[in-house]
Amino acid sequence: MNKAELTEYIKALDKESDAREGRQYVEVTVLPARLHELAGKIRENEELNFDFLVCITGMDYGQELGVVYHLRSTKHGHELVVKSRTADRQDPHLDSVTDIWKTADFLEREVYDLLGIKFTNHPDLRRLFLDKSWGFPLRKDYVDDINIVTK
Amino acid sequence: MKKEEFRDNESLEQLKESGTNILLTTIDDVINWGRKNSLWPLTFATSCCGIEMMATGGARHDFARFGMEVYRASPRQADVIVVAGTIVNKMAPVLKRLYDQMSEPKYVVAMGACAISGGPFFLNSYCVVKGVEHIIPVDVYVPGCPPRPEALIYGMLQLQRKIETENIKSRRKRNAEHTSE
Amino acid sequence: MEEQVINSVINEEEEYIINMGPQHPSTHGVLRLVVSLKGETVKNVEPHIGYIHRGIEKMCESITYQQIIHLTDRMDYLSAHINNEAVCLAVEKALEIEIPDRIKVIRTIMAELTRIQSHQLFWGTWGMDLGGLTCFFYGFRDREMILDIFEETCGSRMIVSYNCPGGLMYDIHPNFQKRVKDFIKYFRKTLPEYDQLLTGNVIFRERTIGIGRLSLEDAISYGITGPSGRASGFSCDIRKHEPYSAYDRVKFTEVLYSDGDTYHRYLARMQEMRESMDIIEQLIDNIPEGPYAVKMKPVIKLPEGEYYQKVETARGELGVYIVSDGNKNPYRVKFRSPNFVNLSVLNHIARDFKIADLVAIGGSLDLVIPDIDR
């Protein structure tokens, strides 16, 4: 499917999410509560069949924290971007998609380690690169006076 | 490089302690000759400099002709540790533990810009140790990013020259310095 | 006395845990594996990483786009050219610059030489891990010829920052074409030696055939790309699906097997070396004339938005995701590294094999640890 058809199909599939054509890929913004349901639907649906989760990126939007999923379908060849954000900076929670794509195991651990976003129902959420007491370096308000020079 | 041409290396000259008596000098020479010609390195490579260290051990720039015949996997059996690659905060206690497990006499060569001073990761990195000398005492620094195999061989030859100038008194003093750290 | 003997027999059934620590001759870098064993059978492998985590993604937020090239070199240092190409393509696509043909062809030739050089190192070090020390010397001897070519043109052997946004740093050396053609002629004669040493060897085949099988569904679900995924039948070669640079004008086959065990991951890399030589031969004689770099502004500012570029490195799909807010430093840079994803499948495929097979399986996935930790 090309980008226009894909946008229409997803709008028809899930009325509450916001699908639009970006510069490169079709982008779908979804609320955290509906994330897991949408992920299951786009994996199981025969026309869409997004079975390859390429990348999970954690983002700090300034006021909110969010995640960006890049997905691809090995059968049809189309690609999709799913975004989700939460305004809670003290204790952010999102649903884990480890039961849908097994690669999310390590990728979500990395997002937790560097940004502090917790994923519910993750089989083993531990810090990956850094120690337990380290802060969350990729946040924009991470302060390290010794090492990082801010202009 | 001829032995005389090392003369303008001032720091090496300063290493030479004033003499001991004749019998001990000859024993010193023999011991130092044995030690410098059979330095066995430890297999320790964290990142890109490790590949250049392996290439130095390859067939073209052969390391074994200078005495670095085998790489020992266990620190208890190794003489020299060539720190090749970046050291980060998580790896620093591991490196210190490996260094403590090595038995005297032991030497350290800091290879590459990352081991000397943090290298390209000096600015704005939150978890890189800026130079391995914060953790263990270094004998020879080999600059480069990564240093060519010929540069590493030059660095090891400098280490051999340094070993040649040791005598029993200075060795004992150095061993005492190592254990107190 | 007899009660003590019976007690010790019962304790044999318990699991015990050993540590293949960060400093280990066969982990190819600083990877720590905590292995649970029952006897000699592996029950669980847990990788602990972070021993070379340098914070590259955070550093990229405070430097310019041209300076990111020097950091991407040092991530997966065995595909240095291809890593640089990914960032350059992302920046050029965002600024919508048209790249002349000469640059595309030279970038492709350099990328394929990098791929051959990386597989030669894989062959050398993996053969050494399995016990054949000769492989190490053969692999490194032949790799030196490619490093000489890099040194003459780019200035450095391994960490080359040759691609830059807008083209190349310098033009190719006049000797370049002749040296590459000599290398290909030499290597085509030498590659059968590699097969004689390892591929037909009885000990090697016993150690690798049927070990560490990865099925196609698991390869897609775990996201394993590169030769490891293609050996399981996962058709994921970006050079075929979404060609970039000069890959749309060369003919080559994507190397796919369906068995997915260690032996076929090895065979996939050997065959890829032959395909790379075919690609270079098609391009080396007709390098088009033209400029070697497009004139760019000294300060690069990408328009606001998000850009994702993927390339095929020697180990899988590298993705560069740049989020820009219009300034001269990027807002967020994320590298989707192939080795990070390939590591996560080690636990799944090494279960119920012996501990000696763990070395063979871990080596066949061809991991470069600084790329995992970035």
Q: Is the pLDDT of residue B18 over 50?
A: no
Q: CB contacts < 8 Å between B and C, how many?
A: 100
Rounded Cα distance between A133 and C202, Å, is: 51
A148 phi and psi angles, rounded to 5 deg: -105, 130
CA distances from C367 to A130, C194, C198 (A): 20, 21, 20
Residue B163: closest CA among B153, B174, B152: B174
H-helix or E-strand containing B109? strand B107-111
**Contact, B31 vs B38, CB < 8 A?**
no
Q: CB contacts < 8 Å between A and B, how many?
A: 15
- Cross-chain Cβ contact C121/B51 below 8 Å: yes
Task: Give the whole-number percent of chain C exceeding pLDDT 70.
Answer: 96
Give the pLDDT score at B46. Answer: 86
CB atoms within 10 A of CB C144: 18
- Cross-chain Cβ contact B125/C159 below 8 Å: no
- Cross-chain Cβ contact B48/C77 below 8 Å: yes
Q: What is the pLDDT of residues B153-168, one digit of tens each?
A: 999 888 888 887 776 7
What is the fold, at CATH topology level, of the domain defined by C54-354? Cytochrome-c3 Hydrogenase; chain B (1.10.645)
**Contact, C324 vs C331, CB < 8 A?**
yes
Give the pLDDT score at B5. Answer: 56
Give the pLDDT score at B165. Answer: 75
Does B18 contact chain C (CB < 8 Å)? no
Residue C23 has its nearest CB partner, among B44, B88, B120, at: B44
Q: Is the pLDDT of residue B12 over 60?
A: no
Q: What is the pLDDT of residues C214-233, one digit of tens each?
A: 889 888 888 898 899 999 98
Residue C319 has its nearest CB partner, among A54, A103, A148, at: A54
- Cross-chain Cβ contact B126/A144 below 8 Å: yes
Rounded Cα distance between B53 and B155, Å, is: 12
Domains of chain C by residue range: 54-354
Q: Which residue of C has its CA nearest to B50?
A: C29
Q: Which pLDDT band, with edges at 50, 70 and 90, does B23 fall under?
A: low
- Cross-chain Cβ contact A148/B124 below 8 Å: yes
**Contact, C32 vs C343, CB < 8 A?**
no
Give the pLDDT score at B34. Answer: 86
Whether residue B120 is preceded by a cis peptide bond, meaning omega within 30 degrees of 0, is no
Task: Give the whole-number percent of chain A exceeding pLDDT 70.
Answer: 98
Whether residue B146 is preceded by a cis peptide bond, meaning omega within 30 degrees of 0, is yes
- Cross-chain Cβ contact C319/A138 below 8 Å: no
3-state secondary structure of B122: coil
**Which residues of chain B make contact with A130, given a CB cutoff of 8 A?**
90, 127
What is the fold, at CATH topology level, of the domain defined by A3-120? Beta Polymerase; domain 2 (3.30.460)
The chains found to touch C (3+ Cβ pairs under 8 angstroms) are A, B
Rounded Cα distance between C139 and C125, Å, is: 8
Q: Is the pLDDT of residue C185 over 70?
A: yes
What is the C-alpha radius of gyration for chain A, rounded to an integer number of angstroms? 16
Give the pLDDT score at B4. Answer: 59
Give the pLDDT score at B19. Answer: 45
- Cross-chain Cβ contact B48/C25 below 8 Å: no
Q: Is the pLDDT of residue C115 over 90?
A: yes
- Cross-chain Cβ contact A137/B90 below 8 Å: no
Q: Min CA distance, A95 vs chain B (Å)?
A: 29
- Cross-chain Cβ contact A55/C49 below 8 Å: no
Q: Residues C239, C241, C243, C244: what is their CA dihedral angle, to the nearest 10 degrees?
A: -80
**Which residues of chain A make contact with B127, given a CB cutoff of 8 A?**
130, 147
Q: What is the DSSP string of C237-288?
A: -HHHHS--TTGGGS-------S--SHHHHHHHHHHHHHHHHHHHHHHHT-PP
Give the pLDDT score at B166. Answer: 72
Give the pLDDT score at C82. Answer: 92
- What does the longest C-alpha to C-alpha distance in chain A come to? 53
Q: What is the DSSP string of C277-334?
A: HHHHHHHHT-PPPS-SB----SS--PPSEEEEEEEEETTEEEEEEEEE-SSSS-SEEE
Chain centroid, CA A45 distance in Å:
20
- Cross-chain Cβ contact A131/B123 below 8 Å: no
Rounded Cα distance between A56 and A108, Å, is: 7
**Which residues of chain B make contact with A113, given a CB cutoff of 8 A?**
none
Residue A106 has its nearest CB partner, among C319, C323, C344, at: C344
Q: Each residue's pLDDT tens digit in chain A (151 positions)?
A: 777 888 888 888 777 777 888 888 888 888 888 888 888 888 888 888 888 899 899 888 888 888 999 998 888 888 889 888 888 888 888 888 888 888 888 899 999 988 888 888 888 888 888 888 888 888 888 877 777 776 5
Q: Min CA distance, C89 vs chain A (Å)?
A: 14
Q: Min CA distance, C210 vs chain A (Å)?
A: 23
Q: Is the pLDDT of residue C162 over 50?
A: yes
What is the C-alpha radius of gyration for chain B, rounded to an integer number of angstroms? 17
**C-alpha dihedral sign at C41, C46, C51, C55:** positive
- Cross-chain Cβ contact C220/A138 below 8 Å: no
Give the ipTM.
Answer: 0.91
Residues of B with CB under 8 A from a CB of A: 90, 123-127
The A residues from 25 to 54 touching C (CB cutoff 8 Å) are 25, 51-54
Give the pLDDT score at A8. Answer: 81
3-state secondary structure of B141: strand
- Cross-chain Cβ contact A131/B124 below 8 Å: no
Q: Which residue of A has its CA nearest to B118?
A: A147
Q: Min CA distance, C257 vs chain B (Å)?
A: 30
Geometric angle at alpha carbon C274, from C269 and C280, rounded to 5° = 120
Does A135 contact chain B (CB < 8 Å)? no
Q: What is the pLDDT of residues C32-71, one digit of tens each?
A: 889 998 888 888 899 998 888 988 888 888 888 888 888 8
Q: Per the structure block, which two tokens stand in for C151?
A: 């040194």
Does C370 contact chain B (CB < 8 Å)? yes
**Mean pLDDT, residues C245-252:** 88
Q: What is the pLDDT of residues C307-339, one digit of tens each?
A: 999 999 999 999 999 999 888 889 999 999 999
Rounded Cα distance between A104 and C373, Å, is: 17
- Burial (0-12, 13-18, 19+ Cβ within 10 Å), A90: exposed
Rounded Cα distance between B1 and B9, Å, is: 13
Residue C373 has its nearest CB partner, among A59, A102, A129, at: A129
Q: Is the pLDDT of residue C2 over 80?
A: no
CA distances from C267 to A51, A80, C195, C200, C356 (A): 27, 33, 10, 11, 21
H-helix or E-strand containing C356? helix C355-364
Q: What is the DSSP string of A43-100?
A: HH-TTT---EEEEEEEEE-SS-EEEEEEEE-TTT--EEEEEEEE--SSS-EEE--TTT
Question: What residues does C346 pair with on adjacent strands?
Answer: none
**Mean pLDDT, residues C171-197:** 90
- Cross-chain Cβ contact B88/C54 below 8 Å: yes
**Which residues of chain C make contact with B88, given a CB cutoff of 8 A?**
50-54
- Cross-chain Cβ contact A147/B124 below 8 Å: yes
Give the pLDDT score at B20. Answer: 45
**Contact, C176 vs C146, CB < 8 A?**
no
Give the helix ranges, DSSP H, for C157-236. Answer: 176-194, 202-208, 216-222, 226-230
Residues of C with CB under 8 A from a CB of A: 49-50, 53, 55, 57-58, 62, 218, 220-223, 234-236, 241, 305-308, 310, 317, 319, 321, 323, 332, 334, 336, 340-341, 343-344, 373
Residue C67 makes CB contacts below 8 A (sequence gap 6+) with none
Rounded Cα distance between B68 and B53, Å, is: 12
Q: Is the pLDDT of residue C114 over 90?
A: yes
C345-374 in b/e burial notation, b at 16+ Cβ within 10 A?
A: bbbebbeebebebbbbbbbbbbbbbbbbbb
- Cross-chain Cβ contact A54/C340 below 8 Å: no
Q: Per the structure block, which two tokens stand in for C108?
A: 């492709």
Place of tokens 């079709």: A26
H-helix or E-strand containing B116? helix B113-117
**C-alpha dihedral sign at B153, B158, B163, B164:** positive
Any idea which of B1-5, B133-137, C241-245 has the lowest mean pLDDT?
B1-5
